[in-house]
Structure 1
Amino acid sequence: MTQLTELERAAIDAILAEKPDYLGPLSEQLQSVVVEKRENTGGGFFTTISVSPLAPAAIVSSPLGLNVYVGVDGMDYGLGMLLFFEHGRMSLLEGYSVGGEDTSAIEFGRVAFAITAAPATSRGNVS
Structure 2
Amino acid sequence: MTQLTELERAAIEAILAEKPDHFGPLSEQLQSVTVEKRENTGGGFFTTISVSSLAQAAIVSSPLGLNVYANIDGMEHGLGMLLFFEQGRMSLLEGYSVGGENTSAIDFGTVAFAINDSPAKLHGNVR
Shared fold (TM-score, shorter chain, > 0.5): yes
Partner residue, 1:63? 63
Partner residue, 2:41? 41
Cα RMSD between the aligned structures? 1.0
**What TM-score do you get using the length of structure 2 for normalisation?**
0.97
Q: How far apart, CA to CA, are the structure 2 residues paired with 1:26 and 1:123?
A: 30
Q: How far apart, CA to CA, are the structure 2 residues paired with 1:23 and 1:91?
A: 17
Partner residue, 2:24? 24
**What pairs up with 1:1-127 in 2 under 5 angstroms?**
1-120=1-120, 122-123=121-122, 126-127=125-126
SS across alignment from 1:14: helix
Q: How far apart, CA to CA, are the structure 2 residues paired with 1:41 and 1:126?
A: 25
SS across alignment from 1:90: strand
Q: How far apart, CA to CA, are the structure 2 residues paired with 1:94 and 1:72?
A: 14
SS across alignment from 1:85: strand
Q: CA contact under 8 A between 1:69 and 1:80: conserved in structure 2?
A: yes
Q: CA contact under 8 A between 1:72 and 1:125: conserved in structure 2?
A: no
Post-superposition, which runs of at least 4 consecutive aligned residues in structure 1 deviate over 6 A? none
Cα gap change, 1:43 to 1:124, in 2 (>3 Å): farther
**What TM-score do you get using the length of structure 1 for normalisation?**
0.97
Q: How far apart, CA to CA, are the structure 2 residues paired with 1:110 and 1:32?
A: 22
Q: How far apart, CA to CA, are the structure 1 residues paired with 2:56 and 2:71?
A: 32
Cα gap change, 1:40 to 1:125, in 2 (>3 Å): farther
Pairwise CA distance, 1:123: 2.3
Pairwise CA distance, 1:126: 4.3
Structure 2 unaligned blocks of 5 or more:
none
SS across alignment from 1:63: coil
